[in-house]
Structure 1
């Protein structure tokens, strides 16, 4: 009898399956990482917008410093009807908040010592763009 030894050529089916499994798992992990990255980036964007909007109302209060007490606005309260500079500022600010942040509302509290606190709340969104149960919040306190 004649024994012939054949050299292996190419890859076996098991090696190809293991490679595909590793590659598929890696691609799924990268997709999940990208999705979370987008979600965190959007959350940071909303927080930056809230920061800018808080500075906006505080600058309006500083301009109308003699009427600091007129800027008090509770969370979930109706928008002021207008008539004074302060009520117009609050109404415009609340409208801007609703436009810029999803499901947002704001509050301003100024005391007799001209210490003002601005609070803005909004609904966070998932990576698919749907609103979640999580609530974003930004609070800023400063002396006017």
Structure 2
């Protein structure tokens, strides 16, 4: 009687091992996906920090040159000013060059009215860049950072 019970359970150990391997593989895939998303969110936070530093940079430059606040007005789609038009033009040129180097697809804008200045930075999210290479006709996801202060 004992030997017939053993024969009926033949191969059960292999099925248990296969189920365990399936559960382990699924868990490892989920952990990999979680790690990937974590890296994407971390990079997005890094870009926001860089945008904050960039906004403070141009605002500090404008505080130094308060007499020429109107000369700092610049739209997102405007061309980068040359370096020969005075301190404001040189500041904007250096700042926009730094924005382009630091933020992927980065653009910057400055608007001052009644000593209240708004700095707008726009860039393309990295995961959107990867998607655009696969489907270039789709619009890329941009992030906009706006900072407003009184000078």
Q: Secondary structure at the match of 1:97?
A: helix
- RMSD over equivalenced CA pairs, Å: 2.0
1:98 equivalent to 2:83? Answer: no
Write out per-residue CA displacement over residues 94-138 of structure 1, whole angstroms, 9 at most, x where no aligned residue.
000000011010000011x110000000010129x7265210110
Q: Tell me which residue corresponds to 1:125.
A: 126
Q: Secondary structure at the match of 2:121?
A: strand
Alignment map for 1:1-144 (pairs within 5 Å): 3-5=1-3, 12-82=13-83, 83-111=85-113, 113-126=114-127, 130=130, 133-144=140-151
**1:18 shift after superposition:** 0.7
Corresponding pairs, count = 140
Write out per-residue CA displacement over residues 22-50 of structure 1, whole angstroms, 9 at most, x where no aligned residue.
00000000000000000000000001000
Structure 2 length as normaliser, TM-score?
Answer: 0.86
CA contact (8 A) 1:124 1:131 kept: no
Q: Which runs of no fewer than 5 residues in structure 2 stay unpaired?
A: 133-139
Structure 1 length as normaliser, TM-score?
Answer: 0.90
CA contact (8 A) 1:108 1:117 kept: yes
**1:12 shift after superposition:** 1.1
Which of structure 1's runs of 4+ aligned residues deviate more than 3 A?
3-11
